[in-house]
């Protein structure tokens, strides 16, 4: 139940998802091995969802890694002793409508069915916040007019094809993939989704205990992460190739060059993170009743490591 602070093994977690390219690049280029003390063994774990990642962090199975801000915040609100020490990337959430659904503006979403990866996940909040604030539409969870189902983004093509859903809030690269396969089209693009450009789509999280007791280790991890992010910015083509290969390795999913290119357009790779962005996202989460108490994220974000 505690971080592996001065052992010689470090486990980093991330998702096989285009917002987590920094993790993939770091793994491929062995960046953690470089910044961490010599002889430290670095291992990587891939997670099916953010909640699983957070649990692993809390039980000490991983020491840090990339996760969506939703799960990080939810767990923090429930009392998890964690810190966000950097961002992974921003953007990448797209609202898509089924081809042939006849929907071409958000006003038409009344009495439709939408899908998100999980109830209350980052993409869900982004979509629902936008709909509530701009169009006055809510999900059935809040006795509203839109039916909500959940499912993995990889299955959205299928859900569109079988007309089970009309709309989906989709993270990249699945948005581009669905577009390419022709089952759905973009309804609201990244920059128009709530918090679309400012909100980190992935954040680098570690345990508070490590931050307090082994800041050197945290610094080393953040340094590696920063290096990876810089690498992506400087060598986008190589980073794309690494991402495509890693995703193929981990998930057995083949992403075409055009899908990767298109996803890349919607994502901004940066490690800068601001508490205010997260706080306003958390407020939306509260307004949508995912959180029972008014959130106060003070103490969640620690930017000292990126400023080093």
Partner 1 sequence: MKPSIWVKRIAFIIVLLAIWQGVYMSGYFPAIQFPPPTKVFQALVEGFADGTLVGALLASFKHLLIGLALAITLGTLIGVLLGKSRQADETAGMYLIAMQSIPSIVWVPLAIMLIGLNETAVIFVVVLGGTFVMALNVRTAIHSVPPEFIKAARTMGAKGLPLFFKVEVPASLPYYMSGIRLAWAFSWRALMAGELLSNGPGLGYSLRFAMDFAQMELVIGIIIIVGVIGSVVDQLVFSKLEKKVMRRWGLLK
138 binds partner 1, rule: CB under 8 A: no
Task: State how beta strands 147-150 and 93-98 pair.
Answer: unpaired
Check: CB of residue 259 under 8 Å from CB of residue 153. Answer: no
Verify binding: residue 71, partner 1, rule CB under 8 A.
yes
Helix (H, G, I), strand (E, B) or coil at 130: helix
Applying CB under 8 A, which of residues 24, 80, 96, 109 lies at the interface with partner 1? 80
Assess contact for 248 and 33: CB atoms under 8 A. Answer: no
Helix (H, G, I), strand (E, B) or coil at 287: helix
Nearer of residues 226 and 246 to partner 1, judged by Cβ:
246
**CB under 8 Å to 196, separation ≥6 — which residues?**
91, 93, 126, 189, 190
Using the rule CB under 8 A, is 56 a contact of partner 1?
yes
Contact set for partner 1, span 195-224 (CB under 8 A): none
Q: By CB under 8 A, tell whether 111 contacts partner 1.
A: no
Give the nearer residue to partner 1 in terms of CB position, either 177 or 225: 177
Tell which one of 6, 59, 105, 272 touches partner 1 (CB under 8 A): 59
User: Which of the stretches 24-32, 150-158, 190-198, 297-305 binds partner 1 when contact is defined by CB under 8 A?
Assistant: 150-158
Q: Could you tell me which residues are beta bridge partners of residue 205?
A: 65, 84
Measure the CA–CA gap between 48 and 291, rounded to whole angstroms: 22
| CA–CA gap between residue 64 and residue 56 (Å, rounded) | 10
Q: Of the listed pieces 24-32, 213-221, 251-259, 272-280, which binds partner 1 according to CB under 8 A?
A: 251-259
Residues lying near partner 1 in the complex (CB under 8 A): 1, 45-48, 51-52, 54-56, 58-61, 71, 74-75, 77-81, 118-120, 141, 148-152, 154-155, 157-159, 161-162, 164, 251-253, 290
């Amino acid at each position: 139940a505690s971080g592996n602070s001065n052992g010689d093994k470090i486990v980093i977690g991330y998702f096989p998802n285009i917002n987590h390219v920094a993790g993939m690049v770091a793994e491929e280029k062995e960046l953690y091995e470089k910044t961490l003390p010599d002889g430290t063994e670095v291992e990587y774990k891939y997670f099916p969802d953010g909640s699983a990642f957070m649990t692993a962090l809390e039980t000490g199975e991983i020491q840090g890694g990339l996760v969506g801000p939703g799960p990080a915040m939810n767990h923090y609100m429930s009392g998890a002793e964690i810190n966000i020490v950097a961002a992974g990337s921003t953007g990448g959430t797209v609202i898509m409508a089924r081809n042939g659904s006849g929907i071409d503006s958000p006003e038409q979403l009344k009495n439709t069915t939408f899908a998100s990866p999980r109830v209350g996940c980052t993409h869900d909040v982004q979509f629902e916040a936008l709909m509530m604030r701009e169009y006055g539409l809510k999900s059935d969870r809040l006795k509203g007019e839109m039916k909500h189902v959940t499912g993995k983004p990889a299955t959205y093509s299928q859900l569109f094809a079988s007309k089970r859903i009309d709309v989906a809030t989709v993270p990249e690269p699945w948005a581009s993939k669905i577009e390419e396969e022709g089952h759905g089209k973009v309804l609201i693009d990244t920059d128009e989704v709530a918090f679309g450009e400012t909100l980190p789509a992935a954040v680098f999280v570690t345990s508070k205990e490590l931050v307090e007791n082994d800041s050197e280790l945290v610094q080393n991890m953040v340094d590696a992460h920063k290096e990876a992010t810089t690498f992506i910015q400087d060598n986008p083509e190589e980073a794309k190739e690494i991402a495509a290969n890693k995703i193929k390795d981990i998930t057995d999913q083949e992403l075409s060059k055009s899908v990767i290119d298109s996803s890349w357009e919607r994502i901004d790779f940066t490690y800068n993170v601001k508490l205010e962005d997260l706080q306003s996202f958390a407020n939306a989460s509260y307004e949508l009743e995912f959180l029972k108490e008014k959130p106060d994220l003070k103490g969640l974000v620690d930017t000292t490591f990126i400023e080093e």
